[in-house]
Amino acid sequence: MGYKAIVDCNSFYCSCERVFRPDLWNKPVVVLSNNDGCIISRSDEAKKLGVAMAGPYFKARHIIEKNGVSVFSSNYHLYGDMSRRVMDCLRVLLEDCSHEKVEVYSIDEAFLDLSNIPTDQLLEYGSYIKNTVEQWTGISVSVGIASTKTLAKMANHMAKKNKKATGCVKAILTEEDQRIALQLSRVNEIWGVGRAYANKLINWGITSAWELSNMSEEWAHRNMGGVVGVRLIRELRGFPSILMEEELIAKKMIATTRMFGRPVSELSELKEAVATYISRAAEKLRRQNSAAKIVSVFLVRREEDYSADFKQSPSLNSHTVLPAATSFTHELIKPAVDLVENLFEKGREYKKAGVMLAGLVPDKSVQGNLFHSENRNGNRFLMSAIDNVNFGMREDAVKFASSGLQKNWKMRQELRSGRYSTRWEDIREVK
């Protein structure tokens, strides 16, 4: 039987901050969401103090200040780079460059195919993975191993729940291991069971994973979403039904959205924001060698600016279909800005905006046009030069004027740490 493992980074955002701040090890740390609004990551020390996950920052401020908790704004450049390092480390450990044995599930989780590892060596190999990732990247991880993805997630949850006893590594290898794990796991802790289904199961008297695993496949098909429910029952019984998937390299849709640092009411500022988001989305588009046929824009008004009877949505959106697919930033900015003008309502205040590029096709498949000037052919080289400069120096070193200069609408990140691994000016000094 082939076994699966999931490697899950512990309090990932907090761990990333600690890599470059060793003085914070074993001390309480929290990371805030966009605009420093809510708490989205907590170290174990912060959890013990009673800091609530996903709670508003201002509500936990008295606990944070009283106990000297270190607080950081989200630093997505740092987190993205550290995630890449962790995943590359896992690929090296499995001696696999084709991504067939490593499935990146999220920014801080990856499934591993351990079919080639003897059963009696799995627990030791899990510890080897954990120790090596921590040594190479500085990010602490937990490892769960089992015959199916669902049981591996369960094992990982158990490893994180009792880190001292498990050493952050837990393997479900025998029928007895599986029975105990299922009996100890509540239905709301099962991977793939959402809150609504968990409440239904509890109302039906099914409170543990063990009780759920003993339900028939016919019952699961009837009461838990058809084939999806059947797969879950099989996974809980130890029969792999959710296969390893290849990493999706080329996205079918690219979006960029941000909250504003303050309410925005001026059309000019909304245009700047959308032009900035389009520039970022266009970079991602070119990175995967694609071109977009459809441009969409949405604006979100403040709650006070739309009807409270729920007949009117706070979100306004619109899209346009381009004459031809393109990856050139300036050709995407113009229709996006036109959409903003159509959506804008004077006197309203907006808290968020976003753009989406769809109808993606391979850039090489875009047919040339004899009626376009020769200068347009140089746009490809221009875009490549801009991308290279911005990648090598910093974001927006070269940008389109429509993106604005001051950007007073930008998201608040007052407590953001340095981009230690992606900016020369932020690199740490060793004395």
Domain borders along the chain are: 7-149+157-167, 174-247, 254-403
Please say whether the beta carbons of 296 and 328 come within 8 A: no
Backbone dihedral region for residue 383 (phi beyond 0: left; psi -120 to 50: alpha; all else: beta): alpha
Q: What percent of the chain has pLDDT over 70?
A: 91
Of the residues 109, 134, 272, 331, only one is catalytic, namely 109
* Dihedral angle sign, alpha carbons of residues 405, 410, 412, 415: negative
Q: Which of 122, 235, 115 is nearest to 185 (CA)?
A: 235
Q: What is the pLDDT of residues 131-140, one digit of tens each?
A: 999 999 999 9
Of these ranges, 139-153, 266-280, 319-333, 348-362, the one predicted with the greatest mean pLDDT is: 139-153
The model's pLDDT over 228-238, given as tens digits with 9 standing for 90+, comes to 999 999 999 99
Work out whether strand 141-146 and strand 169-171 pair parallel, antiparallel, or are unpaired.
parallel
pLDDT band at 422 (very low <50, low <70, confident <90, very high): confident
pLDDT at 315: 79
Q: Characterise 281 by phi-psi region: left (phi > 0), alpha (psi -120 to 50), beta (else).
A: alpha
Max distance between CA atoms of the chain, in angstroms, equals 72
Identify the pLDDT of residue 10: 95
pLDDT tens for residues 365-406?
666 555 555 555 667 788 888 888 877 666 677 888 888 777
Lowest mean pLDDT among 125-129, 147-151, 157-161, 285-289: 285-289
Q: Tens of pLDDT along 67-94?
A: 999 999 999 889 999 999 999 999 999 8
Residue among 260, 50, 5 at smallest CA distance from 143: 5
Give the pLDDT band (50/70/90) at residue 192: confident
Closest CA to 367 of 308, 311, 325, 310: 325
Look at residue 374 in the predicted model and tell me its pLDDT: 52
Contact indicator for 94, 112 with CB cutoff of 8 Å = yes
Q: Are 257 and 354 in contact (CB under 8 A)?
A: yes
| pLDDT recorded at residue 9 | 96
Inform me whether the pLDDT recorded for 108 exceeds 90.
yes
Per-residue pLDDT at 306: 55
The question of whether 109 is a catalytic residue gets the answer yes
Q: What local confidence, expressed as pLDDT, does residue 309 receive? A: 47
CA atoms of 289 and 250, how far apart (whole Å): 8
The CATH superfamily assigned to 7-149+157-167 is Reverse transcriptase/Diguanylate cyclase domain (3.30.70.270)
Q: What is the mean pLDDT of residues 248-263?
A: 82
- Looking at domain 254-403, its CATH superfamily turns out to be DNA polymerase, Y-family, little finger domain (3.30.1490.100)
Supply the DSSP symbol for 97. S
- Partners of 318 in the β-ladder: 297
- The fold for domain 174-247 equals DNA polymerase; domain 1 (1.10.150)
Q: Tell me what the mean pLDDT of segment 111-133 comes to.
A: 94
Flag whether pLDDT at 111 surpasses 80. yes
Closest CA to 111 of 64, 152, 70, 161: 152
Beta partners for 256? Answer: 355
Q: What angle do CA 268, 269, 273 make, to 5 degrees?
A: 120
pLDDT of residue 298: 92
Contact assessment for residue 137 and residue 85, using Cβ atoms and an 8 Å cutoff: yes
| pLDDT given at position 317 | 87
- The pLDDT value given to residue 148: 95
Compute the distance between CA of residue 8 and CA of residue 25 in angstroms, rounded to an integer.
19
What number of CA atoms fall less than 13 Å from residue 424's CA on the CB side? 4
Average pLDDT over residues 279-294: 91
Average model confidence (pLDDT) for the chain? Answer: 87
